[in-house]
Amino acid sequence: SSEELNRRRVYFQDARKRQAYLNSFSTAPQSAKYGINQFSDLSQKEFRDLYLRASADRAPHFSGPKTEG
Amino acid sequence: LPAKFDWRDKAAVAPVRNQQACGSCWAFSVVGAVQSAHAIEGSQLEQLSVQQVLDCSIKNEGCNGGSPVRALNWLKQTRVKLVPQSEYPYKAKTGICHFFSQSHDGVAVKNFAAHDFGGQEEAMMGQLLEHGPLAAVVDAVSWQDYQGGIIQHHCSSQWSNHAVLVVGYDTTGDIPYWIVQNSWGPTWGNEGYVYIKIGGNICGIADSVAAVIL
């Protein structure tokens, strides 16, 4: 429907703004790039509700020797 | 540790798959780790059934979400054999669990090791080399817009919401990074993979990491 199309257009425009912000941190050549992909016409809530459904059980800290920091 | 290592070079990683509109990443990460461990043991690399884990691991919630560690606990305790994907195909919907007899061909999980490697990402590299690809849970909110390259910002730890498979690392360039297989299809990111900077627990990559033992 045209209502749905308009909503998707707004989400797409929001994504473009979000991507511009994210890319403003990507200065080095190998840095991550953010842009249009198959999720660009989803709202952030739709994306979370559909794709970010995992939970992590608390795991014990690895007991080997510290090698960083 | 070698400066770079990638289980794909050893033909131990199955192709990138697509979970579609189903919150099944937790099952894809676990099945990915099991099928890689099976190949590393010397068997032919074979895709195993994600749908079986989705339908039968009842302490998880199918397409509504789950935890890799809970799924591995279920595999370990029940000694259920994961059957080939061709025998129990993926439908992107939670369904009724299909049972197979213990004599049916499949891959069982003997044990697993889940750890928090925060501050110890080098030790995590050792775990990757020793046990094969690792199931990890990350914060993937910013991945909605990811196109490629090495993620170094905009990714929190301790807010995990997505499960993935760590298949390798590369420390030869200016920015060392993890090579991570996602389950959003081969057109997403770097042909279905995402690269995450090593050190600093970016995206919470080291917070909850599980290795499978067959």
pLDDT tens per residue across span B126-177: 999 999 999 999 999 999 999 999 999 878 877 899 999 999 999 999 999 9
Chain B: nearest CA to A6, how far in angstroms?
Answer: 20
User: Of A47-51, B79-83, B101-105, B108-112, which range is least confident?
Assistant: B101-105
Output the CA–CA distances (angstroms, integers) from residue B39 to A35, B46, B141, B199, in the order listed: 36, 8, 32, 29
What are the chain A neighbours of B163 within 8 Å (beta carbons)? 54
**Can you name the residues that pair with A58 across neighbouring β-strands?**
none
Average pLDDT over residues B104-130: 97
Mean pLDDT for the stretch of residues A18-28: 90
Helix, strand or coil, per DSSP, at residue B114: strand
B19 and chain A: CB distance < 8 Å anywhere? yes
How does residue B69 score in pLDDT terms, banded at 50, 70 and 90?
Answer: very high
Radius of gyration of chain A (CA): 18
pLDDT of residue B161: 96
Which distant-in-sequence residues (6+ apart) come within 8 Å of B65 by Cβ?
Answer: A53, A54, A55, B23, B26
DSSP B30: H
Phi-psi domain of B178 (left: phi exceeds 0; alpha: psi -120 through 50; beta: other)? beta
Q: Do B174 and A28 touch (CB under 8 A)?
A: yes
Q: Reply yes or no on whether B25 is catalytic.
A: yes
What are the helix (H) ranges across A1-69?
2-23, 44-51
Describe chain B by its helix, strand, coil percentages, rounded to 5. 30, 25, 45
Residue B178's pLDDT is 98
Whether the complex's predicted ipTM is more than 0.90 is answered with: yes
CB of B194 within 8 A of CB of B146? Answer: yes
- Which is catalytic among the residues B22, B25, B56, B63? B25
Please, are residues A33 and B86 in contact by the beta-carbon 8 Å criterion? no
Q: Is the CB of B115 less than 8 angstroms away from the CB of A37?
A: no
Local structure of residue B119 (DSSP, 8 states)? T
**Could you tell me the pLDDT band of residue B92, with boundaries at 50, 70 and 90?**
very high
Interchain pair A53, B63: CB under 8 A: yes
B201 vs A: CB within 8 A: no
**pLDDT for the residue numbered A68:** 52
